[in-house]
């Protein structure tokens, strides 16, 4: 662990100085266009999850404009084969909602499955030692039972394949759980499926999030998938959404991130995950024939279903018009009426979108001054989507959100206005809106160079990518991201996570960043393989070593405060000490310089 005595720019870390240093603007003398090298760094920092070894050379070879065009057309980018291999064990990524519900049920079936698993685990604890003793020599049994988790996994990995599989199948919970983050992903997943099958879906989803960010060649598409999921946020811990969130991101979000906004809005509106999260699946016309019949046979005092306004409010306030978008409470109610009957077919079995006309409010509606005639059925909701998707307020809100994520916490109004104009003129073509932003002079101004504070996800993934690390099991990385304040898919309010730096700057969160940076550089993060010496390129002593690592990790000279901190740390170690590259790399990754993109 990093001690509080580590200081940045003269302040003690525990006193919040690192937070102050990260938030401090670099304050260039005047706004000017970045030079060619800085433009490449800017593009990679803003349009990817972080610069990996070889990325700069790739962009130089293709040309910056060509590289950007490739990223804007991900179908033209050859995908990294390592990603497919890494994702292969995560079977739930490829399941339909119905398959998810069958394999990982809710209700009584889930309770019975948990009870069966608990009984099996109790029996395994009793029988495990006998089973293991029949598979292993006394020395091998001691090797997998004692020592730290990495040593125990190495012992298991050294066994013949058949023996290794039998040992993993026989391991009791008390021995298996500490090994989970250290095991290869496929083996870890088998253990989790055996011991706690309810965790498999979430484990697959979280692991895939980090693996895609680290390995995909279609970096911009993945960054935009994260952006738009956060924009249309759903909470993974809300009951059925644990199973519905994977197909939501896969089928409703990712295919539309560079398409038409109206298609993206419709895909999310028809998603069972969104319907369940915002309770629209239970929103019905209380005066419909179906509800009148239900009330006729209901017990006295039984709750009466009716219109739920959650989705009607959030589709305007968060997803389209914005909080100041000119709608009223009456509009919220009218929009909610339009979406009555948009529900889920057999939520615990098929979990598919279903429009039930018997539950729909068939009367006329007035939405944002536009009359929606009576008798429209499902077309009422479709009409609302078109009204909202083509509103100037939506164009401005979406443009502001994108500029805030990719350009500045307080994006230039002129840029936002140009992006909004493109949005309206192109029928909400999100690729064209992104092109307007990327081709703007503001995107390439020194004022906004390394001006955005990284979120925990961005910091962790960019550090892994910067070191060229391999990831055989991302579970500990997802845990680290959560410890920094950003548990993946677990932001409960529909607002999602903020896109501004101040949301991520706290003393505890930043100490966690520095501790992670040091552990990563030391190759002490389970499931991640790091070789700092490869980045040092033969340099073993200061100051040449420092310069090599500044260039390898920051692609430019470090700030004066970072150089001063590292010089003090290096002075406390013998020159050419084996720990020197690791110490410098860890401090660079934990520095204020690296926390900005």
Buried b (16+ CB within 10 A) or exposed e, 437-470: bbebebbbbbbbbbbbbbbbbbbbbbbbbbbbbe
Written as tens digits, the pLDDT of the chain (597 aa) is 444 334 443 334 443 555 556 656 444 446 788 999 999 999 999 999 999 999 999 999 999 999 999 999 999 999 999 999 999 999 999 999 999 999 999 876 555 555 555 555 555 566 777 788 888 888 888 888 887 888 888 888 888 888 887 888 888 877 888 888 888 899 899 888 888 898 999 999 999 999 999 999 999 999 999 999 999 999 999 999 999 999 999 999 999 999 999 999 999 999 999 999 999 999 999 998 888 888 878 888 778 889 999 999 999 999 999 999 999 999 999 999 999 999 999 999 999 999 999 999 999 999 999 999 999 999 999 999 999 999 999 999 999 999 999 999 999 999 999 999 999 999 999 999 999 999 999 999 999 999 999 999 999 999 999 999 999 999 999 999 999 999 999 999 999 999 999 899 888 888 899 999 999 999 999 999 999 888 877 666 667 788 889 999 999 888 888 888 888 877 777 665 667 888 899 999 999 999 999
Q: Return the H-helix or E-strand segment holding 29.
A: none
Please tell me the predicted confidence (pLDDT) of residue 594: 95
Q: Please answer whether residues 79 and 217 qualify as being in contact, where contact means their C-beta atoms are separated by less than 8 angstroms.
A: yes
> Contacts by 156-164 with C-beta closer than 8 Å and gap 24+?
156/183, 163/135, 163/136
Q: Residue 16 to residues 7, 23, 507: CA-CA distances in angstroms?
A: 10, 11, 5
Domain boundaries of the chain, sorted by first residue: 7-30+453-595, 97-202, 230-297+304-449
User: Which residue in this structure is represented by tokens 């349009």?
Assistant: 47
Longest dimension (CA), the chain: 86
Please tell me the predicted confidence (pLDDT) of residue 113: 57
| The token pair that represents 345 in the structure block | 């077919």
Q: Please answer whether residues 439 and 431 qualify as being in contact, where contact means their C-beta atoms are separated by less than 8 angstroms.
A: no
Please tell me the predicted confidence (pLDDT) of residue 108: 60
The Cα–Cα gap between 581 and 541 comes to: 8
Tell me which residue of 47, 48, 52, 46 sits closest to 597, measured CA to CA: 46
Please tell me the predicted confidence (pLDDT) of residue 578: 67
How many other C-beta atoms can be found within 10 angstroms of the C-beta atom of residue 290? 16
Tell me which residue of 193, 160, 163, 162 sits closest to 176, measured CA to CA: 193
**Rg of the Cα atoms in the chain:** 27
Per DSSP, the three-state class of 353 is strand
Please tell me the predicted confidence (pLDDT) of residue 111: 56
Tell me which residue of 518, 554, 597 sits closest to 56, measured CA to CA: 554
Please tell me the predicted confidence (pLDDT) of residue 161: 82
Please tell me the predicted confidence (pLDDT) of residue 9: 38
């Amino acid at each position: 662990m990093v001690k509080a005595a580590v200081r940045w720019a003269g302040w003690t870390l525990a006193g919040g100085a690192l937070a102050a240093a990260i938030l401090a603007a670099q304050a260039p003398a005047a706004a000017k266009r970045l030079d060619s090298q800085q433009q490449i760094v800017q593009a990679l920092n803003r349009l990817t999850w972080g610069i990996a070894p070889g990325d700069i050379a790739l962009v130089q070879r293709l040309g910056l404009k060509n590289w950007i065009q490739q990223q804007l057309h991900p179908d033209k980018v050859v995908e990294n084969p390592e990603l497919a291999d890494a994702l292969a064990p995560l079977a739930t990524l490829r399941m339909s909602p119905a398959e998810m519900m069958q394999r990982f049920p809710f209700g009584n079936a889930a309770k019975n499955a948990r009870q069966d698993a608990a009984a099996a685990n109790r029996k395994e604890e009793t029988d495990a030692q006998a089973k293991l003793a029949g598979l292993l020599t006394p020395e091998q049994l001691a090797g997998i039972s004692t020592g730290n988790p990495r040593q125990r996994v190495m012992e298991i990995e050294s066994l013949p394949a058949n023996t290794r599989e039998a040992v993993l199948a026989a391991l009791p919970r008390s021995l298996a759980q500490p090994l989970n983050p250290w095991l290869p992903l496929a083996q870890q997943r088998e253990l989790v499926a055996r011991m706690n099958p309810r965790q498999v879906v979430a484990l697959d989803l979280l692991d895939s999030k980090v693996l895609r960010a680290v390995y995909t060649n279609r970096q911009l598409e993945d960054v935009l998938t994260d952006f738009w999921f956060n924009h249309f946020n759903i909470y993974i811990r809300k009951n059925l959404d644990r199973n519905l969130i994977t197909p939501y991101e896969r089928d409703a979000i990712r295919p539309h991130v560079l398409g038409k906004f109206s298609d993206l809005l419709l895909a999310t509106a028809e998603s069972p995950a969104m319907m369940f999260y915002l309770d629209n699946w239970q929103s019905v016309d209380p005066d419909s024939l179906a509800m009148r019949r239900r009330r006729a046979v209901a017990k006295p005092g039984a709750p009466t279903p009716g219109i739920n306004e959650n989705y009607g409010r959030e589709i305007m306030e968060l997803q389209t018009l914005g909080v100041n978008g000119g709608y009223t409470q009456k509009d919220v109610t009218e929009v909610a009426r339009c979406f009555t009957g948009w529900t889920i077919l057999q939520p615990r079995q098929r979990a598919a979108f279903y429009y039930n006309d018997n539950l729909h409010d068939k009367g006329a509606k007035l939405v944002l001054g536009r009359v929606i005639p009576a008798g429209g059925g499902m077309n009422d909701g479709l009409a609302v989507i078109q009204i909202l998707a083509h509103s100037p307020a939506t164009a401005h809100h979406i443009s502001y959100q994108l500029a805030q994520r990719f350009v500045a916490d307080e994006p230039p109004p002129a840029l936002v206005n140009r992006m909004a104009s493109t949005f309206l003129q192109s029928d909400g073509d999100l690729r064209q809106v992104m092109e307007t932003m990327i081709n703007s002079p503001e995107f390439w101004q020194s004022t906004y160079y390394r001006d955005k504070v990284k979120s925990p996800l961005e910091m962790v993934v960019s550090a892994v990518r910067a070191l060229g690390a391999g990831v055989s099991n991302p579970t500990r990385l997802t845990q680290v991201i959560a410890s920094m304040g950003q548990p993946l898919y677990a932001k409960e309010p529909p607002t999602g996570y903020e896109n501004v730096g101040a949301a991520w700057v706290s003393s505890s969160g930043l100490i966690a960043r520095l501790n992670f940076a040091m552990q990563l550089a030391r190759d002490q993060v389970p499931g991640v393989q790091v070789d700092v010496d490869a980045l040092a390129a033969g340099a073993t002593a200061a100051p040449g070593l420092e310069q090599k690592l500044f260039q390898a990790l920051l692609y430019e000279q470090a700030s004066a405060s970072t150089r001063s901190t590292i010089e003090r740390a290096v002075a406390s170690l013998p020159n050419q000490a084996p720990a020197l590259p690791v110490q410098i790399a860890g401090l660079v990754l934990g520095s204020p310089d690296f926390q900005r993109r």
